[in-house]
Chains A and B, each alone.
Chain A
Amino acid sequence: MRKKIGLTGDGAAAEAMRQIDPEVVAVYPITPQTEIVERFAEFVAEGLVQTELINVESEHSALSACCGSSMAGVRTMTCTSAQGLALMHEMLYIAAGNRLPIVMVNVNRTLSAPINIHNDQSDSLGSRDAGWIQLYCENPQEVYDTVIQAVRIAEDHQVMLPVMVCLDGFIVSHNMEPVELLDDGEVKEFIGEFKPRLNLLDTERPITAGNLTLPEYFFEHKYAQVYALEQSKEKIEEVGREFGDRFGRRYGLVEGYKLDDAEIAVITLGSMAGTARVAVDALRGEGIKAGLLKMRCYRPFPVQELAGALKNIRAAAVMEKAVSPGAPGPAVFSDIIAALYRQSVRINLISYVAGLGGRDVPVKSIHRVYEHLQKVAASGEPDRILNYLDLRGWE
């Protein structure tokens, strides 16, 4: 039976994992992901899942164990955060290159130094080229729904890639909201049985996996992976559509909010989208044509969808919680510039780095971004492209 209960983002992720009941979970606890591990360990102890829970000595080992079990043909999940994701970095590429459909929940937290346990997205945005699908969630309901969808996406035989489900640390992971849970049976039916394409332990069909691949083959091997990630867009949309048809909450690659007639817009991912909605509503009340574009899917990058949604906008700001030192611009901003260029869409685009190390991004700060956009729209060109929101000494 479906029910609506109060859950944090971590609690919602753990609940989805309970219903998915993966064969193997190898995990190492780290703030602010710990609550997922605690809750899931309880499910294992109480016999609510059949999962083999592997307690490992580090995140590198966690993802290594996951690679092993996924290669052995069983459904495998893990979760991490920040330094943990950084420690997994080597194995991220190995999971993707070996086309292992592991689902990982990443609770976004900043990377040291200086040491800080709070939210920004520098961990997962920094792993953008590892070859994983990356989906960003705005609230606990989206976390729950996306973890379930991620299993279907990863294990699709045309995709066969790992999926990272990202949620903002503390802001989403530790704040409680009403979450509608599906019936256990509905989740089981939706995700279906895992049918691996490669199984290292199938003695009837012996294979060798994780092979040394020298210059004659590496490039082609890599491109097959690039192609699969690009093609996975269709599957992400298809699964999001089917989820909506069955359970009433539809998901896509990007989501516009009051964007159709908007003149100025903020583009963002994760929890900042929720705050920006409030700012948009207030501005609309003043008669200002403000809109919001939420990127749910960051990898694969929704080039056409994003450019299509922005083509009639006069000025837009990319708000992201990560910085790329020494780069021409931060990651999401730079990707959007490239996407617009590819689609021949020319709009005034500015960047706002915000909320690093857990700095709050309140509605009034997002209002200031929209004010800046109004000026850019009026003058027809940006006065300053790279901006840092609420950074002392910047203005």
Chain B
Amino acid sequence: MKRKINDSIRKLDKTCLPNWYEIPLAGAILSEGSEDYETGSWRTRRPVWNKEECTSCLICWLFCPEMAIKVTGGKMAGINASLCKGCGVCANECPREGAMTMVEGGEYRDCKV
């Protein structure tokens, strides 16, 4: 029996992978965004956010390719560690000195993001 799968490629649950006839034509992803992917696992460098220097201009949010900049009530609210792939676009585009800095290592341990 065919199981109904809305967007099979995005279902990363290995226990219910779709059959060949359930995959969208040419394996296309039929919805926007990439939030279902744990792109955070790719990271070898990490951005560190300095709340004191940040003006919440949201340029980092605009440029981030993975929706990793958290925004609450129109204000910058931190970095989503499971989505941030460490590309550094946020730090590169940030207009404020010291508000967003890239550091070596992908792991967020003690430092609060």
Contacts and interface: CB of A to CB of B under 8 A. Distances in A.
A207 B18 contact: no
Nearest to B20: A220
A209 B17 contact: no
B62 interface: no
Contacts of B19: 220
A223 to B, nearest CB: 4
A217 B27 contact: yes
B23 to A, nearest CB: 6
A197 interface: yes
Contacts of B25: 99, 160, 197-198, 224
Given A99-B25, A211-B9, A216 B20 contact: no
Contacts, number: 52
A207 B24 CA distance: 11
B25 to A, nearest CB: 5
A227 interface: yes
B20 A98 contact: no
A209 B20 contact: no
Contacts of A197: 25
A357 B107 CA distance: 62
A300 B17 CA distance: 29
Contact of B21 (A206, A207, A208, A224): A224
A208 B26 CA distance: 10
B72 interface: no
A213 interface: yes
B57 to A, nearest CB: 27
Nearest to B26: A99
A311 interface: no
Contacts of A211: 9, 27-29
Contacts of B71: none
Contacts of B18: 220
A172 B26 CA distance: 35
B5 to A, nearest CB: 12
B31 A206 contact: yes
A249 B29 CA distance: 41
B17 A213 contact: no
Residue from the set B9, B19, B25, B30 with the largest chain A CB neighbour count within 10 Å:
B25
Contact of A198 (B9, B14, B20, B26): B26
B26 A220 contact: no
A342 interface: no
A224 B20 contact: yes
Interface in A207-241: 207-209, 211, 213, 216-217, 219-221, 223-224, 227
Nearest to A220: B20
24 contacts: A97-B26, A98-B26, A99-B25, A99-B26, A100-B26, A160-B25, A198-B25, A198-B26, A198-B28, A206-B31, A207-B28, A207-B30, A207-B31, A209-B28, A209-B29, A213-B27, A216-B14, A216-B17, A220-B19, A220-B20, A221-B23, A224-B20, A224-B25, A227-B20
B110 interface: no
B43 to A, nearest CB: 18
Interface in B1-41: 9, 14, 17-21, 23, 25-32
A100 B21 CA distance: 18
Nearest to A224: B20
A210 to B, nearest CB: 8
A213 B18 CA distance: 13
